[in-house]
Amino acid sequence: MIETTIQVQVKLYGLLRPHHPGPNRSLPVTVAVPAGATARQVAEALNLPPKLTRLVFINDLQVGLDDPVQANDRVNFFTSVVGG
């Protein structure tokens, strides 16, 4: 069986930004994952710390880490927000 990979565009926010592999952390990074991968697998491909990776949006819709991604999706990862 041949495993197919897909590409998604990922943008990191908050404390996750230092984990961006490229020189310009403001731009999305292209990540290749196996077809049928979840948002969690995308986060793992970028070595994002699980304790910081709390909110995920796919194509501007809030989803869970175990929701699947599709080719060319826009995936945004956020940390929890606290303040006072």
Q: Is residue 6 part of a domain?
A: no
Whole domain around residue 55: which residue ranges? Answer: 23-78
Q: Where residue 52 sits, what CATH number does that domain have?
A: 3.10.20
Q: Is residue 37 part of a domain?
A: yes
Q: Is residue 4 part of a domain?
A: no
Q: How far apart are CA 64 and CA 4, in angstroms?
A: 23
Q: Tell me phi and psi for residue 27, to 5 degrees.
A: -95, 150
Q: Is residue 14 part of a domain?
A: no
C-beta neighbour count of 23 within 10 angstroms: 6
CA dist list (Å): 41 to 35, 38, 62, 72 = 11, 5, 16, 15
Q: Is residue 58 part of a domain?
A: yes
Mean pLDDT for 36-63 is 96
Predicted local distance difference test score (pLDDT) of residue 2: 59
pTM of the predicted structure, to 2 decimals: 0.90
Q: Any bridge partners for residue 34, and if so which?
A: 5
Domain count, the chain: 1
What would the pLDDT profile of 12-47 be if each residue is shown by its tens digit? 998 999 999 988 999 999 999 999 999 999 999 999
